[in-house]
Structure 1
Amino acid sequence: MERQLPNFLKNYGSILLLLLGIVVGSIVGGFFPEIVAWLKPLGDIFLNLLFAAVIPLLFFAIASAVANIDGSQKLGRIISTMAGVFLGTVIIAALCTIIVLWFFPVDAPQVAQETADELLQGNPGDTWGDKLVRFVTVDEFYKLLSRENMLAFVIFSFLVGIAAMRSGETGASFRKFLISGNEVMKQLLILIMKIAPIGLGAYFAYQVGTIGPELFGFYAKPLGLYYILGAFYFIVFFSLYAYAAGGKHGVNRFWRNNILPSATAISTCSSIATMPVNLSVAPKMGIPAAVANVVIPLGTTLHKDGSSMSSIVKIYVAFVLIGWDFFDPMTLLTALGITILVSIVAGGIPNGGYIGEMLMISVYGLPTEAIPAVMIIGTLVDPMATLLNATGDNVAAMLVAKFAGARGTLSAADGLNTDDADGTD
């Protein structure tokens, strides 16, 4: 029992500190609203540090991941099938979330509605083509370094990664530099996130002090919707995916052996920590090693159904807070694009969801005041998101094995003795 408590604090300590900061900030904002203006600079410092780190962090994370894809990872049909499965399930999760939010809308705090018109700034004379060009490119290199052009920067980082990958032996030193830079920037983000409880607590105190106690009711509904939808998706959609991969026998094998990965995901709140467990139970689910050893490790980085759902919820919350229409068709298409990108970019970065939130703020041109709200949502949904992210890799591998026609798929494994499918190592 003594050992379980330190493990719990190790895995959830950062989340507990964030929650403590939010609670303390809420109390200060509720009972001492006259001092919240003095606390807001602390939140601004935290956000500025994040914004300063996000550009180099994104560059090294994306460029190093693309540049170091080697020939052993290019397995033809398995890779192409995996890409289709990952993309399909992420989009399905996002669409389910959009549908739920459509039928169960969240009302914005009154103060947010009253100030929404002040934030509706744009360039009404721009044509659709002008907006597209400005959205994905810039005309000077230095403009890439601004968070206002973050999507163009992401595209540039992908292109640098591809160029480094294609440079062969000559570019080996540069690829090592990208890997080293990625690790350095990860450590920088970890350092910055150590002051997150203070920064978010200060910002939450400001929000409570200015918007009032109705803010608590505002957060409760999207959080409740996320957990209910997440549980439904986990049980129903994962069962449907397993059925598509191997019929009733596939459903049985998946759930009999998904207990340990699920427990690991919830207890560690880490997809990477769950990956070894996923690999150990994959054979018991009838997933051939050639598929499991590619799909599950790559899925840890590239496939995140839970993050897809939380990304949509966070975008929706930000739009509601500032009074914008989330259900505009172009907004929804952009949200899907951001969701897919976040699912790829966030993997392998500690607290990578926060990077996705800043990308969202940049792409939509939202005010920085919306960041604490979506960061709070992201923190509170993390356990359920991790459960969906981590265990979703197993059912995705089952689908890849089925549709890629890999030897040892579920249908071919139906005759195996079920005594070994007990969910243990």
Structure 2
Amino acid sequence: MTAFGPQIIAGLILGVVLGLVAKATGSTADDPNALGQTLEIIGSSYVSLLRTAVIPLIFFAIIASIANLAQVTNAARLAWKTLLWFAITALIAVVIGIVLGTVFQPGAGTGQTAPEGYDGNTGSWLAFLEGLIPANFLGLEVSGSFDAESGSVSNRVGFNVLQILVIAIAIGVAALKVGKAAEPFLNFSRSILAVIQKVLWWIIRLAPLGTVGLLGNATATYGWDTIGALGKFTAAIYVGLLLVLFAVYPTLLKLNGLSVRKYFAGAWPAIQLAFVSRSSIGTLPLSQRVTERNLGVPAGYASFAVPLGATTKMDGCAAIYPAISAIFVAQFFGVDLSIMQYLLIVLVSVIGSAATAGTTGATVMLTLTLTTVGLPLEGVALLLAVDPIVDMGRTAVNVAGQILVPTLVAKREGILDDSTYNAANPLDPFEDDDAAATLEVGSESTPGETHGGKTHDGEPVTAGRAS
């Protein structure tokens, strides 16, 4: 673990202690004392900081991924094969998540009721279809409320993630079709994405403080019932992650005639870095490097598939996690899910993972899932309290899947270098050629536009945490 890991653990412990102190001194959800209010402000402020970057992050990350299609020979066939396998593995993962959520029942027995004003009829197939049509260019939604006692009017501006997703895909495809004339726009998009990721990394570094507020407020509001429920939730998540990583992926490798041991030996440096850094995009350069050097995937294809996977292929964040989380939130607030809502969870997990964008992906995906299914968004803040714990395992599975799919597609298309894949010992991804010297764990990385170990401008890429 890096110094960041102990900070998160310290934040978890401190949050629980302060939350219990606040509750013991009379703090309640309706009438919090000074400590309770402080914890609530710290937690809500951190969530607000994350939400601030969601819209531009989704928008520019998807455009940048689509733009990478222009870099690939025979792009159409390989792109569709890649996306198909993304969907297949995501479908398997989300089904595992739903099964584990119903078996573990992590949110059951808390005795909580749905928040005031919650409308349980919002999650439906028709609502999902209506939500796909952008109401305006930015997918913004404005709602207002009137307080009869004070006579005040308050307005709230929100956003529809599905609509932003549709808009970004349309613009990305259009830019790809326009060709050379769109290059300035695509370069601008990449630059904006790099700036957003830098700001996001600063926000992520505040996670220990945010953890204190989020978990402290949850403990002060709900007491030990919350801690026990979140513990069951965390256990269910890790069982699902382990099943996908060490059962589903090895099965797919075997079915395609590939050695399981060789895959893990070659991919392990990236999986390990993902677990520590908790960033798919931060691990991207190393993921691409081990995919090419250790597993024998051609550089031209890997430079498209791995960056695309870093923004759209999230079996941990976008399949297992939202499935179990949605079931947890429903059980926690005593909401019964219908068959249609379960199907919506599957649909959103399979086609909506492009919204995850490799950094605060799970938060975005959880918001997208809860909104689509029609569950209380108060569950987002509750689950963010333990997010750093589950995020390490989620990211490791994400990166393992991002390396697995290009390897499977390359094997099935007959372009995999079998001698490299089956080499006696995998190469050290930090050695050889000009880029090796810059592949230092913990350094800053450029987002998604890598091409055979080089950035879009031809400079060596670096591996490490998301910038």
1:325 maps to 2:318: no
Please give the alpha-carbon distance, in whole angstroms, between the structure 2 residues aligned to 1:393 and 1:190: 21
CA gap 1:58/1:78 in 2 versus in 1, 3 angstroms: closer
Say which of 369, 382, 387 aligns to 1:378: 387
Structure 1: tracts of 5 or more residues without a match: 1-6
1:358 maps to 2:358: no
Aligned 8 A contact 2:132 2:162 in 1: yes
Please give the alpha-carbon distance, in whole angstroms, between the structure 2 residues aligned to 1:122 and 1:380: 30
- Structure with the largest fraction of strand: 2
What residue in structure 2 maps to residue 305 of structure 1?
Answer: 315
TM-score (norm 1): 0.81
Q: How does 1:26-425 map to 2 (within 5 A)?
A: 26-34=19-27, 35=33, 37-39=36-38, 40-67=40-67, 69-72=69-72, 75-112=75-112, 115-116=113-114, 118-121=116-119, 129=126, 131-132=127-128, 134-141=130-137, 144=140, 146-246=157-257, 250-271=259-280, 272-273=282-283, 275-276=285-286, 279-280=289-290, 282-307=292-317, 308-326=319-337, 328-341=338-351, 343-348=353-358, 350-406=359-415, 408=417, 410=418, 413=419, 418-421=423-426
| Deviation (angstroms), 1:282 | 4.7
Please give the alpha-carbon distance, in whole angstroms, between the structure 2 residues aligned to 1:422 and 1:62: 32
Moved more, 284-293 or 39-48: 284-293
Helix, strand or coil at the partner of 2:348: helix
| Deviation (angstroms), 1:370 | 1.6
- Output one character per residue of 1:273-298: Cα deviation in whole Å (capped at 9) or x when no partner: 36426633655445444544443343
What residue in structure 1 maps to residue 2 of structure 2?
Answer: 8
Aligned 8 A contact 2:218 2:382 in 1: no
CA gap 1:67/1:420 in 2 versus in 1, 3 angstroms: closer
Report the aligned-residue RMSD. Answer: 3.4
Aligned 8 A contact 1:278 1:296 in 2: yes
Please give the alpha-carbon distance, in whole angstroms, between the structure 2 residues aligned to 1:156 and 1:82: 22
| Deviation (angstroms), 1:321 | 2.2
Q: Which amino acid aligns with 2:58?
A: L
Q: How many residues align?
A: 406
Q: Which amino acid aligns with 1:244?
A: L
Helix, strand or coil at the partner of 2:336: coil
Helix, strand or coil at the partner of 1:235: helix
Please give the alpha-carbon distance, in whole angstroms, between the structure 1 residues aligned to 2:125 and 2:97: 28
TM-score (norm 2): 0.75
- Output one character per residue of 1:95-117: Cα deviation in whole Å (capped at 9) or x when no partner: 111112222322435341xx227
Please give the alpha-carbon distance, in whole angstroms, between the structure 1 residues aligned to 2:179 and 2:266: 42
Helix, strand or coil at the partner of 1:147: strand
Q: Which amino acid aligns with 2:89?
A: T
| Deviation (angstroms), 1:210 | 2.5
Aligned 8 A contact 1:51 1:358 in 2: no
Helix, strand or coil at the partner of 2:3: helix
Moved more, 86-95 or 193-202: 193-202
Please give the alpha-carbon distance, in whole angstroms, between the structure 1 residues aligned to 2:299 and 2:390: 32
Please give the alpha-carbon distance, in whole angstroms, between the structure 1 residues aligned to 2:205 and 2:272: 27
Instruction: Give the percent of matched residue pairs that are identical in Structure 1 and Structure 2.
Output: 23
Please give the alpha-carbon distance, in whole angstroms, between the structure 2 residues aligned to 1:268 and 1:127: 37
| Deviation (angstroms), 1:196 | 4.2
What residue in structure 2 maps to residue 4 of structure 1?
Answer: none
| Deviation (angstroms), 1:165 | 2.6
What residue in structure 2 maps to residue 3 of structure 1?
Answer: none
Aligned 8 A contact 2:85 2:405 in 1: yes
CA gap 1:351/1:84 in 2 versus in 1, 3 angstroms: same
CA gap 1:163/1:32 in 2 versus in 1, 3 angstroms: farther
Please give the alpha-carbon distance, in whole angstroms, between the structure 2 residues aligned to 1:169 and 1:19: 50
Please give the alpha-carbon distance, in whole angstroms, between the structure 2 residues aligned to 1:353 and 1:117: 23
Please give the alpha-carbon distance, in whole angstroms, between the structure 1 residues aligned to 2:339 and 2:206: 38
CA gap 1:92/1:14 in 2 versus in 1, 3 angstroms: farther
Please give the alpha-carbon distance, in whole angstroms, between the structure 2 residues aligned to 1:293 and 1:65: 11
Q: Which amino acid aligns with 1:419?
A: A
- Output one character per residue of 1:181-219: Cα deviation in whole Å (capped at 9) or x when no partner: 222322333344454444443343332222221111101
Aligned 8 A contact 2:306 2:406 in 1: yes
Aligned 8 A contact 2:275 2:395 in 1: yes
Please give the alpha-carbon distance, in whole angstroms, between the structure 2 residues aligned to 1:241 and 1:197: 37
Please give the alpha-carbon distance, in whole angstroms, between the structure 2 residues aligned to 1:27 and 1:68: 50
Moved more, 265-274 or 225-234: 265-274
| Deviation (angstroms), 1:342 | 5.2
Q: Which amino acid aligns with 1:19?
A: L
| Deviation (angstroms), 1:329 | 2.3
Please give the alpha-carbon distance, in whole angstroms, between the structure 2 residues aligned to 1:260 and 1:71: 26
Helix, strand or coil at the partner of 2:75: coil
- Output one character per residue of 1:111-137: Cα deviation in whole Å (capped at 9) or x when no partner: 41xx2274542668x9965x3553222
Aligned 8 A contact 1:50 1:192 in 2: yes
Q: Which amino acid aligns with 1:102?
A: T
| Deviation (angstroms), 1:48 | 3.3
Moved more, 115-124 or 213-222: 115-124
